[in-house]
Amino acid sequence: MSSVVKTLTPFRDKEILEGALKNLSIGYTLQANDIITDRQDYYGFEKFIFVDGVYKFQHDSSADIGGKSNYNEYPASWRLNWKGWNSVNAFLTSVEKEYNILYTAKIEKLAEIERKRIEEERKKYIAAQEQKILEKAKQLGYKIDKRVEKDSNIQLVLVKRTY
């Protein structure tokens, strides 16, 4: 019998979920859109299945009912992949915590990239505006006497000599 367990964090990003599993030393394989872990229950390997845009953890819920809370009570084939988690809840809590760390790092990286992009656009706009001003000043017979940058402002001193 299988069940789908819900977590507080929806696992939406496959790359981050894979990274979380790697960081926790959990072996896995990919099968279509699903991620098959090296954890086993009564009916085989536990997995994250892709449903409605999120990865949901699927496992045999009857394994929890058996009252086995000790490492030695599980079959030897399961003990190879024990890794200190004695319940699905503890396993998912660990995965969720690592997923959130990686997700936060990704968001911060994307925010930094966006800040840099906006700053570059701002610099290009300022340069274009400055060029327009200089071209118009030249048409009107002005020359640049001085260019001063104060904080984020540019001050141009234009001079027109008449004799």
* Tens-place pLDDT, residues 18-32: 999 999 988 999 999
pTM recorded for the entire structure: 0.68
Which residues neighbour 88 within 8 Å (Cβ) at sequence distance 6 or greater? Answer: 5, 46, 57, 59, 63, 64
pLDDT given at position 67: 46
Label the pairing between strands 34-41 and 44-51.
antiparallel
Residue 138, CA distances (Å) to 132, 144, 149 in order:
10, 9, 21
In 3D space, the residue among 148, 147, 146, 142 whose CA is nearest the CA of residue 160 turns out to be: 142
As a whole number of angstroms, the distance between CA 86 and CA 93 comes to: 12
Mean pLDDT for 118-145 is 90
